[in-house]
Structure 1
Amino acid sequence: MAITSQRAAFLQLVLSQMHEPYRWGAKGQRASPDGPRIFDCSGLVTWAFHQVGGKDWRATHNTDRLWAECAPVARAADLLPGDLVLYGRAGDPDHVMVHMGAGVVVGASGGGSKTLTLEDAARVDAKVKAFARAEYRPDILGFRRLPFAS
């Protein structure tokens, strides 16, 4: 499968949000009119997907919905840049990252349900960041593919 223009734009947009702060439940809104965008893990995915012409899932999709509604990818070897890596316990995903290629994943990470303010995020280094290996967390549930149109 080729890397499509929509997929490439999605990847570029995700990368352009590097170092933006994490806040539980945030879907790309700005902290203030001139402030940074803020995200949680599924918020980054759904915001970026919408920005490149995908469905606006920001109000309805979290990691559970991404797991249930996006097409499964059978093996890590089949991942394309822009595919999703989901983490959690069997049947209960609680975190999502975007596969960039060569095992690298990017996403809003380091927070959790107690990260409710920008001060909380700064204290625990919760932000959009990269990890050199998808296995930075040992609880990988599986992989999913967003429904890119082009």
Structure 2
Amino acid sequence: MTTDNTSHPSQPKIVTLTARRLICAAALALASLPAFAQSAETAAAAKPAAAKTEAPRSKADSAATATLAALLPHLAASDTIPLMDRSAMFAGDLSRLISAYDASKGISAATEAALANDSDGKVQSILRRAMTLLGTPYRWGGTSPDAGFDCSGLVGYVFRTALGVELPRVSREMASQANAELINDRSALAAGDLVFFGRKGRVDHVGIYLGEGRFLHAPSTGKDVRTDTLMTGYWGDKFMQARRVAL
């Protein structure tokens, strides 16, 4: 009979790669905020002669600032998702949103017009309310932050609580609203528009357009409310149409 004398030292506790990535992402998100604020101050201090050139940028900055102001307090909210996980997830969304408002890209004419004509702040109210829901879990049939959201439940909740506008319950009915302007051309999309996706001519998904090709939605089971692009990739291929709700 042989005896195995090989020692088995206890495994040291290690930080998993995923955890390290989460920590780094959260740190980057927090670190980016001072730089973002500084860039805004620098732009404000620019020479008056550059005012006309910077006009589209100032509108984009206003939209981004409102988005950030609504989003940051949500990081400290009590939620089922651990704060570190949520911070990392928001870091990605913040990074994409900030880059979306880069001056070199400008903003679409339709979005610029929507922001310029938003004297009563209705478009901004929709965007602010939508962004506070980032990270809410998907749940089929869900219509509230506590219960979770499906795609149409999320859109309906945002419009109802932000402006008191009642929308049809399901995406295909939202897509056929006679009192909402139909938009087929992606280049004509403006912030606050409802964007619809589907296959074989049948709508099966809806989100809220944020500008610069990005939209916010509740994707599917096992995922959370997030932003994605509709210009390329999976959602780009599934894009069908949009509707502009009368506010």
Q: TM-score range by the shorter chain?
A: 0.7 to 0.9
> Given the two structures, how large is their TM-score scaled by the length of structure 1?
0.76
Hey, what does 1:100 align to over in structure 2? Answer: 210
User: For 1:2, which of 114, 133, 145 is the aligned residue?
Assistant: 114
| CA RMSD, 1 decimal | 1.7
Hey, what does 1:72 align to over in structure 2? Answer: 182
Hey, what does 1:128 align to over in structure 2? Answer: 225
CA contact (8 A) 1:90 1:141 kept: no
Structure 1 unmatched ranges of 5 or more: 32-37, 116-120
Deviations 1:34-69 (A, max 9, x none): xxxx11111111100001223333xx4210111001
Helix, strand or coil for the counterpart of 1:47? helix
Hey, what does 1:34 align to over in structure 2? Answer: none
Distance 2:201 2:245 in 1: 19
Larger RCO: 1 or 2 (CA < 8 Å, sep 6+) = 1
User: For 1:21, which of 120, 137, 144 is the aligned residue?
Assistant: 137
More strand by percentage: 1
Distance 1:146 1:54 in 2: 12
Change (3 A) 1:54 1:71: farther
Distance 1:45 1:71 in 2: 17
> Given the two structures, how large is their TM-score scaled by the length of structure 2?
0.48
Distance 2:194 2:231 in 1: 10
Hey, what does 2:244 align to over in structure 1? Answer: 145
CA contact (8 A) 2:193 2:245 kept: yes
Change (3 A) 1:133 1:68: closer
Hey, what does 1:51 align to over in structure 2? Answer: 161
Distance 1:54 1:65 in 2: 18
CA contact (8 A) 2:195 2:206 kept: yes
Helix, strand or coil for the counterpart of 1:51? helix
Flag the structure with larger Rg: 2
CA contact (8 A) 1:85 1:134 kept: no
How many residue pairs get aligned? The number is 127
